[in-house]
Amino acid sequence: MDKQQIWDQVRSQAVATPAIYGAVDFDAVPERFAGAPGDPNELRSASEAERAQLLGDDGLMTLIRAYTFMGDRLADPYVALMPEYGFKRLIGMVDEACRHGIDSVADAPPELRNFIAAMETVPAWLDMAMVEEGARIERAAMAIMSPIAIRAAFIATFMNRYAALPMALTGTLSNATAARRVKETATFFATSVLPGALARDGEGFRAAAMVRLMHSMVRFNVMRKGRWDASVYGIPIPQVDQMPAGLIAVTMMAADVLRQGRSEFTAQERARVELSRYRCYLLGLPEALLATTPKEIVTLMAASLATLRSGFDDETCGNLLRATLGAYLPPDNSLPSRVFDRVEKGFSKVFFVKNYAGGDAAKAASMGVVPNTLDKVCYGIAAAVAGSRLLAYRLGMNIPVLAAALDRRLVAIIGKQLASWGHAHFTTDAAAYRPSAP
């Protein structure tokens, strides 16, 4: 797709969904887009010379800037029917279409038919056997690491005020709402690695549709009521902001591959990439952002970070951070649950300092995160126990006589986790939204 075609798609959103995009000036460069040398940005791992090389790639910059303005060209028009149908009916029709097919939905609107048909369209590059293999490989990490790491991973999504504002506006500033969002995020990714989950009749397919619906509802609600300044923030939840959530793990793997002096993935690494690519495809990310080689993957992520203006403010990012760290995630108040909560929170605080504050305790403290001695002990215990369990499972999965039994065990562990997190609604209530700062 050339430059003109990309921008034609971007601008077509104003025609397809005027309720969201009708007032957006797609020719303007929003404040969030850090496109000049010296602009403060989120690319921490590169020199100014390396960043300048990215900024000098006209094709790459066109792609990143365009997708900074791209929402969901299929889910957004459907959600714009909310005044006519109501959000509960819109959700119900998507759920019915995913579970029983579009023809089971009485008087299904064309926007729903287009949305579901696009998700059902199998991309030419898809190798479902490879996707299933990627899911099998990822199950051990999901089963062992996600219970202690999901809160810490979720925090990464709101360390920048330009990307985090949609979450702040939707009322995720309370501990209870933050807990629900953490569990919904965990539920989607855990579900996606179960056997057959991403097939047309799988729960992962349905969950992806619901996540897209939720994102579009956020766009619709914040854009139509004047809660959003596109000249500053671009559009809510653009495609470039969805890249880290779906691709950060394979980006880290790709960077490691390059550090080893390799230019290609192994078969197992390739399977993990294909799982992530198809999961992101179902979430609506365009193929142009779903790279295949280690260098392409790292370059795209670096470009997205290099053009995202730095900005941590206490009202948005700090409040989200504190609400998430304070949220109680276990399903009950039993003694084992309370102990786990304490250990997991300690792990998350230390993880935050190491990974999001660059090991700078003073910087972390300025953001409201000050791990104490018990937090550090909890981190050490959690990391040691989870790390040893993960290693044992990975070694066992390479032994043919054990692999099948261990995989069944991992599926059962993930199933138990999903049950403890409860039913994910993947919805957003406009009544709970707060106004954006002037």
Segment 277-292 shows an average pLDDT of: 95
Q: How many other C-beta atoms are found inside a 10 Å radius of the C-beta of residue 119?
A: 21
Indicate the pLDDT class of residue 322, thresholds 50, 70 and 90.
confident
Q: How far apart are the first and last CA of the chain?
A: 38
Q: How many other C-beta atoms are found inside a 10 Å radius of the C-beta of residue 213?
A: 24
Nearest to 301 by CA among 5, 21, 41, 38: 41
Characterise 273 by phi-psi region: left (phi > 0), alpha (psi -120 to 50), beta (else). Answer: alpha
Supply the pLDDT for residue 33.
96
Query: pLDDT tens, 217-275?
Result: 999 988 876 678 999 999 999 999 999 888 989 999 999 999 999 999 999 999 999 99
Query: pLDDT tens, 344-391?
Result: 999 999 998 988 887 888 988 888 889 999 999 999 999 999 999 999
Supply the pLDDT for residue 431.
44
Mean pLDDT of the chain: 90
Query: pLDDT tens, 116-167?
Result: 999 999 999 999 999 999 999 999 999 999 888 888 888 877 788 898 888 7
pLDDT top residue among 182 and 61: 61
Residue 78 to residue 27: CA distance in whole angstroms: 25
Pick the range with the lowest mean pLDDT from 106-115, 318-327, 405-414: 318-327
Class of residue 86 by CB neighbours under 10 A (exposed 0-12, middle 13-18, buried 19+): exposed
Supply the pLDDT for residue 366.
86
Indicate the pLDDT class of residue 44, thresholds 50, 70 and 90.
confident
Q: In whole angstroms, how far apart are CA 206 and each of 94, 103, 111, 354?
A: 8, 16, 17, 35
> And the tokens for 246?
């779906």
What does pTM read for this prediction?
A: 0.90
Residue 240 to residue 29: CA distance in whole angstroms: 15
- Looking at residue 309, the DSSP 8-state letter turns out to be B
For the cut 70, the answer to whether the pLDDT of residue 437 exceeds it is no
- Looking at residue 288, the DSSP 8-state letter turns out to be G
Nearest to 257 by CA among 292, 290, 295: 295
Indicate the pLDDT class of residue 175, thresholds 50, 70 and 90.
low
Residue with tokens 């779903």: 290
3-state secondary structure of 69: coil
Q: How many other C-beta atoms are found inside a 10 Å radius of the C-beta of residue 242?
A: 24
Segment 80-87 shows an average pLDDT of: 93
Q: What are phi and psi of 382, to 5 degrees?
A: -60, -45
